Amino acid sequence: MTGVGVIHGGWEFVVAAYTVTAVILLGYALSVHWRYRAERARRRREAGREERAR
Amino acid sequence: MSALAAALRKDLLLQWRTRAQVVAIFVFGASALLLFSFAIGPHAAALRQHAAGFLWLALLLSSTLALAESFQSEMEHRALEGLLLLPADARALYYGKAIANALQLTLLGVALVPVMVVLYDAGTARLPALLGIIVLGSAGLSAPGTLYAAMTAQARARQTLLPLLLFPLVVPVLLAAVKATSLLILGDPMGQIRSWAVLLVSFNAIYWSLCGLLFERVVED
Amino acid sequence: MRDYSTRPYALGGLGIALLLWGSTWGLLFAPREAYMGDVQRIMYVHVPTAWNAMLALTFAFACALFFLLRGGWEWDARLEAAIEVGVVLSTLLCMQGAIWAKPTWGVWWDWDPRLTTMAVLLFAFGGILALRQFVDDPVKRAVWSAVAVVIAYVDVPIVYFSVKWWNSLHQMQSSPETVSRAFHWPLRINAFGVLLLVAGLIDLRTRLAALRREGELAAPPVVAERATPAPIGAAGGTP
C-alpha cells in the first residue's frame, strides 16, 4: 500500500541504530576486559611486592 | 514522639538562627524567576503559560541550596556524631530535619508566588489549593532531599552530587506540581487537579516512610 | 577472590553469536512491516535492549537489597557491575529510541513514557555511579549506593505513570503494541543474545569490582603486624 502513512526507505536509520548498538556494546565489553586485565596485573605486582617484603 | 519533637525544635531553632541564609536563598529563587523570563522573551501570553514551570524550577534549584545548608552546622561542628551517640532514634533525627526542611521550602515557595504573579501575570484565586500544592511539592522534595543531603554532606564534590542525585528522583513531584499549579493559574475545566494531588500524596507517602527507614544506614558509622 | 575464569567470555561470545544470527535474520530475511517499512527493523535491537536494560537495573535493585539486608562484599561488587551495565544499556536505549523516532515521527524525541522513564533512570543511576566515584570509604560507598539504588528503583513506576499522565494529551503511539508472529523469531534470538552478553558483562565487571575491593580493604603490609587493619570509618573523628 503506497502513499499516505507509509514510510519508505530509511535504511540509513536502521544502519545507524545497529552500528550504534554494536559500537556501544562491543566498546563497553572491551573497556571492561581491559580494565580487568589491568587490575589483575596490578594485583600480581602487589602480591609480588608483598612476597619480597616478607 | 518526644525525640521527634526535640529534633524538630532543634532544627527549627537552627533555621531561625541562620535565617539570613534563607533570605539569600529566596533572593536566588527570585532572580532565577527573573532569568527564566529572559529565556522566553517579553511575550506576556507565553510567560503566563509557563509560569507554573518557572516557579517550580526556581523552587527546585533553591532547594539544593537549602537542603545542603541544613546539614552544614552538623558537618562544621562535627555535631552529627554527637547526635548519633544520644539515645534518640536516628529516625527521629531524620524526620525532625526533613519536616523542618519541608517547612522552609514551603515558606520559600509561598514567598516566590508574589514574584511569579508580578513577573508573569500569573495568579490564582484558589489560594488554599495553591498552598496545598506548594506544601505537597515541598514535602516531596524534602523527604529524599534530606536523606541525600545527609549523604553528600560527608562526601566529596557535595555541591554537584546533591542535585545530581535528587533531580532525576523528584521528576514525578516536578511534573505533578507544575501541572497542578498550571491548572490553578490557567483554569481547570475538567477537574484534573485532584489526580495530580493524589500523585503528590502517594509520592510523599512512599518516600517519607522509605527514607525514614533508610536514614539510619546512611549516617551509621 | 576468584581466579581468571572463561565463563564471562563464553557467555559474551555466545551472546554475540546469537546477536549476529538474529540481526542478520531481522535485517535481511524478516518481512517488511506494512506501515513502518524497513525502519521497523530497528525493533530487533531496540526491544531486546529495553528488556535487558530493565533487567540489569532490577538486578541492581536485588543486589542492593541483599547487601543492605544480609551484607557481604560480593553483593556490592555485583551492585557496581549491575549499575554500570544498566547505565550503558539505558544510554544505548535512548540513542536507539531517538534514531527510531526521527524517521517515524519526524522528531528525535517525543516523550514516549517508556523512553522518558528510561532517560530519567539513566540520569538517576548515572548519578549513583558518580556517587560511587566521590566516596572514598568503601563501606560508606557500598551502603550509600545501595540505599540510592533502592530509592531510585522504587521511583520507576511512579515516574512512568506520572510521565504517562502528563503526556496523555499529546501521546502518539510510539512503538507497535502487538508484534505479528513473522517478527517473533529474530526478536527472541536477539533478546537471548543480549541477555547472554549482558550476563557475561556483569560477570566480568563483578570480578573487576571484587578485585578492586580486595585491594582497598587489604591492609598495607607494614600495618598488618599491628592490631586492627580496618581502614573503615576514616571520615569520622578519632574515638
Cα C103 to Cα B127: distance, rounded to the nearest angstrom: 46
The DSSP 8-state label assigned to residue C39 in this structure reads G
Instruction: Render the burial of B173-199: b for 16+ CB within 10 Å, e for the rest.
Output: bbbbbbbbbbbbbeebeeeebeebbeb
* Average pLDDT of the segment spanning B76-103: 80
Q: How far is B143 from chain C (nearest CA, A)?
A: 11
Predicted pLDDT at A18? 94
The predicted structure's pLDDT at residue C228: 44
Place of cell 506544601: B135
Contacts of B150 (CB under 8 A, 6+ apart): B71, B94, B97, B215, B218, B219
- The answer to whether C88 contacts chain A (CB < 8 Å) is yes
Dihedral angle sign, alpha carbons of residues C25, C30, C33, C37: positive
Nearest to A14 among C42, C92, C215 (CB): C42
* pLDDT, block means (10 residues), chain C with 239 residues: 77 92 86 78 92 96 97 95 97 95 88 92 96 92 96 96 82 55 83 95 95 81 44 43
Angle separating helix axes B158-169 and B44-70, nearest 10 degrees? 120
Contact at 8 Å (CB) between B168 and C127?
Answer: yes
Provide the mean pLDDT of chain B. Answer: 91
Q: What pLDDT does C178 receive? A: 55
pLDDT at B73: 75
> How confident is residue B87, by pLDDT bands cut at 50, 70 and 90?
low
Stretch A29-48: mean pLDDT, rounded? 92
Give the distance from residue C127's alpha carbon to the nearest chain B alpha carbon, in angstroms: 5
Q: Identify the weakest region by mean pLDDT among A23-37, B81-95, B118-132, B137-151.
A: B81-95
| Residues sharing a CB contact under 8 Å with residue C223, sequence separation 6 or more, in sequence order | C229
Tell me how far apart the alpha carbons of residues C35 and C175 are, in angstroms, rounded to a whole number. Answer: 12
Name the pLDDT band for B158 (thresholds 50, 70, 90): confident
C166 CB neighbours in chain B (<8 A) are 175, 179
Contact B32, B62 (CB under 8 A): yes
Mean pLDDT across B14-34: 92
Q: Provide mean pLDDT across the span B32-45.
A: 90
Please classify residue A9 by burial: count the beta carbons closer than 10 Å to its beta carbon, then call 0-12 exposed, 13-18 middle and 19+ buried: exposed
Cα B127 to Cα C125: distance, rounded to the nearest angstrom: 38
What confidence score (pLDDT) does residue C238 get?
Answer: 43
pLDDT interval class at B7 (50, 70, 90): confident
Q: Mean pLDDT across the stretch B196-204?
A: 97
What are residue C37's phi and psi, to 5 degrees? 65, -145
Report residue B221's pLDDT band, with 50, 70 and 90 as the boundaries. Answer: low
And the C-alpha cell for B50? 509557563
The interface predicted TM-score (ipTM) is 0.91
Query: At CB < 8 A and 24+ separation, what contacts does A2-9 make?
Result: A5/C35, A6/C34, A6/C35, A6/C37, A7/C35, A7/C36, A7/C37, A7/C39, A7/C103, A7/C104, A8/C37, A9/C37, A9/C38
The pLDDT, as a whole number, for residue C220 is: 55
Query: Taking 70 as the threshold, does the pLDDT of residue B218 lie above it?
Result: yes
- B114-125 tens-digit pLDDT: 999 999 998 888
C72 vs C66: CA distance, rounded Å: 8
Q: Which residues pair with A53 in a beta bridge?
A: none
A 10 A CB-CB count for C6 gives: 8
Distance from CA of A25 to the nearest CA of C (A): 8
Residue B169 has pLDDT above 90, yes or no: yes
Q: Which residue of A4, A11, A13 to mutate against C (max C Cβ within 10 Å)?
A: A13
**DSSP label of B130:** H
Q: Which of C130, C163, C166 sits opposite B164 (nearest CB)?
A: C130
